Amino acid sequence: MLDVLPVHWRLVRNVRPKYSCRTCEKIVQAAAPVKAVARRKATFATLAHVVVSKFDHHLPLYRQSEMMAAQGLDIDRSTRAGWVGQAAALLDPIVSRIREEVLQGDKIDADDTPVPVLDPGRGRTATGRLWVYAVDDRASGNTTSPATWYHFTTDRTGAHPQAHLAEFRGFLQADAYAGYDALYRSGVTEVACWAHFRRKVFDLHERVATPLTTDILERIGALYGIEAEVRGRPPDVQLAARQNRTTPLVDALREALDAALRRLLPKSDMAKAIAYGTKRWPALCRFLVRIR
């Protein structure tokens, strides 16, 4: 039998009696317990509950207030909004530490995703960006713990990643967003993503499959197959497999792409999809000579 207990709220009252000594004329009182926020009633657990409900379970604050009212508590939404801000301030040192760990890596994976943002006064929703910077070398046999740093901005200008990674001087794997180009000119090494290149061809293949799209996808699939075999193996094993097995396949793929470009109209969708990869060929091939 599966049973459930409703959310149970409790009011915690801390009693701290004072004791006076008539001999030394001093007053002693137990220290107050640590509060999540000074002069506020929300505990750490309450703040965590509100934040997780809002951002992980996607429950807006007004809906949380309605749920708490049904549970016997009347907490104004503005109070809960203040709790969210206070929780963010408490978490900020952790975010800063994660940022430091990520920027210490020699290879970072970067991406961004659109986020709808309320834009009061304009009558519509604006589009912000959540930038993601991750380090995860487990696939190359590294035992270092992965880490991911998120940073929100109200727009998608290149100034943001350039500021975020201003002190970074390693390998950056990302999409073809032009906002990263200034980083590549300042000492960061570009590592292009095969998945983005493959997606360009796959989207056309889904619309109308042709011998050319099928051939390219099969060739890239063979590269993926080798990577699957050596994932998690020691770096020297991976490098040997890439140089001995993958490099000939990559060279043959490039010859097939160049031959296709000579036959296709330059402005055709297929030519644009192939050109997306050939323009970034050195960055796509960087994994053949480096493991991390």
Distance from the first to the final alpha carbon of the chain:
51
The pLDDT, as a whole number, for residue 90 is: 93
Domain 106-191 grouped into CATH 1.10.10.10? no
Q: What is the pLDDT of residues 185-195, one digit of tens each?
A: 999 999 999 99
The pLDDT, as a whole number, for residue 139 is: 85
Q: What is the pLDDT of residues 66-117, one digit of tens each?
A: 999 988 888 888 899 999 999 999 999 999 999 999 999 899 999 999 999 8
Mean model confidence pLDDT for the chain: 92
Q: What is the pLDDT of residues 188-220, one digit of tens each?
A: 999 999 999 999 999 999 999 999 999 999 999
**From CA 107, how far away is CA 127, in angstroms rounded?**
29
**From CA 198, how far away is CA 193, in angstroms rounded?**
9
The pLDDT, as a whole number, for residue 82 is: 92
What 3-state class would DSSP assign to 233?
A: coil
Give ranges for CATH 3.30.420.10 in the chain.
106-191
Q: Is the pTM of this model over 0.85?
A: no
Spatial CB neighbours of 150, under 8 Å, sequence gap ≥ 6 = 95, 130, 131, 132, 133
Q: Quick one: DSSP state of residue 52?
A: H
Q: What is the pLDDT of residues 33-74, one digit of tens each?
A: 888 877 778 999 999 999 999 999 999 999 999 999 988 888
The pLDDT, as a whole number, for residue 23 is: 84
